[in-house]
Amino acid sequence: MEAKFFNSIYGGDSENGVKLCMGLTEGDFWSRPAGVQILYAGTEFDDIDFGRIVNTSNIDTNTIEVSSGHISSRLFYLVRRANCCGEEEQTINAAIRLEFDSLGNLVEYGCNKITDVSAQQADGDKVKLIWFYQTIHQTKKIKGFYVYSDNATGTIDYDNPAATIDYVGRKFYEFTTGSLVGSCYKFCIRAVAEDDSISQFTGKIKIGMDSQCPDGVELLICQIL
What number is the average pLDDT over the span 86-106? 76
pLDDT in tens, 32-75: 888 899 999 888 877 889 988 999 988 888 788 876 555 557 78
Q: Burial, 122: exposed, middle or buried (Cβ in 10 Å; 0-12, 13-18, 19+)?
A: middle
User: What number is the average pLDDT over the span 136-146?
Assistant: 87
pLDDT bin (cut points 50, 70, 90) of residue 161 is very high
Question: How far from chain centre, in Å, is Cα 214?
Answer: 36
Structural domains for the chain:
3-99 (no CATH), 117-224 (2.60.40.10)
What is the per-residue pLDDT for 96? 78
How are strands ordered across the β-sheet holding 95-99?
55-58, 36-42, 74-82, 95-99
**Mean pLDDT in residue range 196-224:** 68
Q: Which residues on adjacent β-strands are paired with residue 121?
A: 127
Side chain identity, residue 7 = N
Query: Higher model confidence: residue 1 or residue 120?
Result: 120
- 119 three-class SS: strand
